[in-house]
Amino acid sequence: MEADFISAMLAAAIRTGTPLLLVALGEMVVEKSGVLNLGQEGMLLIGAVVGFIGASHSDSITIGFLAAIAGGMVMAMIFALVAHFLSANQIATGLALTIFGVGLSAFLGSDYEGKALEGLSAIDLPLLSDIPFIGQVFFQHDAIVYLSWIVFIIVWLIFRQSTLGLNIRAVGENPDAANAIGIKVVPLRFACVLVGGTLAGLAGGYLSLVYTPLWTEDMSAGRGWIALAIVVFASWKATRILLGAYLFGFASILHLAAQGMGINLSANLLAMLPYAATIVVLVILSRNKQWLQLSEPMALAKPWRKD
């Protein structure tokens, strides 16, 4: 019985960490190109509400996800146009995007508050899902969880052994030198921002179409901010982002695990653990400025224009 409980909790942690993984991988791609987008929370919410509205009117989860992705991409394009092509301050633009996304999502979703959808069913992978313990943890999930693993592998491969990954890193480290050797800095950064918006929109759609599945105002509950922190914790490495997303996912459902083990602690106290952990880790990391300087892209958050 204990093994079943532990495997169920680990599987729930993977599902809870899936939107964090998608957003964080997208933000990692964006930041590797030298762009800092703090608008992840707003893009998540827009993806969630647009996806829910699309699925509600079409009775199709697929159309809902396509709408969610489109919503995230539109938000990313707004950020890119303002912060990138107009050379506005990236931090201020990202914060404004989040505020805009929070307000707009509440307005668009006011008529859909509390409505529920059917969501996605789990897909048990043949043979693999029958493996004791491991099968329940890893191979009995919905399609978006499996898709998030594919996205992770693609991102890991791009930065591990591809010319595209090297070009993105070059643009993020020294855009002047990258431009001098023929790399198109502006188009490449714009494309990376769109990738971040695509994954943020997909993550938002997962929240409202699969994880819940319903729309409630501010349902992202700070996941966009946690994803931004995970990128820093992981020192801009995809494998560490995967681990960090699932660790934060487990922390988010720790109150369920505590109740299952008979630990009598306030559910509200346990629910704040992911946010408290974010603050603690950021404080620890900020003390080692040399480590941060060696890890983060040198041109991060610095606007660039071709002379």
Q: What is the largest CA-CA distance in the chain?
A: 66
The CATH code of the domain that includes 263 is 1.10.3470
pLDDT tens column, 88-144: 899 999 999 999 999 999 999 999 987 888 888 889 888 888 888 898 899 999 999
Asked, for residue 221, whether it belongs to a domain, the answer is yes
Which residues, in sequence order, are CB contacts of 289 under 8 Å at separation 6+? none
- Average pLDDT score over residue span 255-261: 66
Predicted local confidence at residue 1, as pLDDT = 47
Q: Is the pTM of this model over 0.75?
A: yes
Query: Greater confidence, 189 or 83?
Result: 189
Asked, for residue 248, whether it belongs to a domain, the answer is yes
Asked, for residue 92, whether it belongs to a domain, the answer is yes
Between CA 6 and CA 9 the distance in angstroms is: 5
Helix axes 143-161, 238-252, angle to 10 degrees: 150
- Average pLDDT score over residue span 260-264: 66
At 256, is the pLDDT very low, low, confident or very high (cuts 50, 70, 90)?
A: low
What are the tokens at 72? 């995230």
pLDDT tens column, 270-280: 777 777 776 77
Asked, for residue 51, whether it belongs to a domain, the answer is yes
Share of the chain above pLDDT 70, in %: 90
* Beta pairing, strands 140-141 & 123-124: antiparallel
For residue 227, what are the domain limits? 2-112+141-295
With residues binned 3-state (H G I as helix, E B as strand, rest as coil), the percentages for the chain, rounded to 5, are 75, 5, 25
Give the closest residue to 203 by CA, choosing from 37, 6, 42: 42
DSSP track, 80-137? IIIIIIS---HHHHHHHHHHHHHHHHHHHTGGGBT-B------EEPTTGGGSTTHHHH
Query: Greater confidence, 2 or 247?
Result: 247
Asked, for residue 262, whether it belongs to a domain, the answer is yes
Asked, for residue 125, whether it belongs to a domain, the answer is no
Asked, for residue 302, whether it belongs to a domain, the answer is no
Asked, for residue 211, whether it belongs to a domain, the answer is yes
pLDDT tens column, 3-13: 777 888 899 99
Per the structure, the count of domains in the chain is: 1
What count of other Cβ atoms lies within 10 Å of the Cβ of residue 12? 17
Give the closest residue to 182 by CA, choosing from 163, 197, 200: 163
The average confidence (pLDDT) of the chain is 88
Between CA 233 and CA 27 the distance in angstroms is: 13
